[in-house]
Amino acid sequence: MTSPFPVYSRPWRLGIVDDDGAVLRSLSRLLTACGYDVTTFQSAEEFLESVESEEPDALLLDLRMPGTDGLSLVERMRERGFRVPTVFLSGHADVPTSVRAIRGGAVDFLEKPCDEATLLASLGRALDVAKRNRERTGDADLRTRWRSLTPRERQVCRHVVQGRLNKQIAAALGTTEKTIKVHRGRGMTKMGAGSVAELVRFMDRLGEDSAEGGSAGPQRVE
């Protein structure tokens, strides 16, 4: 069985919180077979102890549990600054509770027992949210990396993604090929680019931020 949703730079991490051990085992087997990285928890308290060190991309959450229930868990997570896309699973669903869950940010509210297709469809919507969150985080990280480059390193990177050789860049900037090689290496390292193709993708994602005269600020020769 394969997941209907793409896996990006790492497998999607899913958390499942349910006090029913049989439900945890069943869901874990299903979603692991779909290619997800699954971690199970038998209480809200157990999950809260873990989330600080490893936040899941999405959460399958039982509504009624001993101690902290599902709705209270989501509220506590929000108080701590966590915004994990959540699908509620409950054998005791009612309209007011469902509405409260959705208003609290839940992606979906499913009744137990739930068929596989419905579950995967709801999980897909949650992971769509997670994907957008991941892309926003990644883009913010790229902008931070770009700002860490010196003006000269930015200049050189712009020439590199246009397909120019070191000697061509050196001629354009009035310096030596050896100096360009140094700036090029430092720029690619700071950007986390292992190849020119990867640098091109990063610069495309940055868009206007990496354009001449953009957020890079005034240019100067170093």
- Across 43-57, 84-98, 110-124, least confident range: 84-98
| Amino acid 208: pLDDT | 56
This prediction has a pTM of 0.60
Q: Give Cβ neighbours of residue 105 (< 8 Å, ≥ 6 apart).
A: 74, 78, 83, 86
Q: Which of 77-81, 126-130, 153-157, 214-218 has the lowest mean pLDDT?
A: 214-218
Alpha helix ranges (H) inside the chain = 21-33, 44-51, 70-79, 95-103, 116-147, 151-161, 166-173, 177-191, 196-206
When mean pLDDT is compared across 11-20, 72-81, 143-152, the lowest value belongs to 72-81
φ, ψ at 59 (rounded to 5°): -135, 130
Give the DSSP H/E element, type plus range, for residue 37: strand 37-41
Q: Summarize pLDDT for 128-147 with one digit per residue, the tens.
A: 988 887 777 777 788 888 99
The tens digit of pLDDT for each residue in 161-181 reads 999 999 999 999 999 999 999
pLDDT reported for residue 78:
84
Ordered by where they begin, the domains of the chain are 13-138 (3.40.50.2300), 148-210 (1.10.10.10)
122, exposed or middle or buried, with CB in 10 Å at 0-12, 13-18, 19+?
Answer: buried
- List the beta bridge partners of residue 17: 41, 61
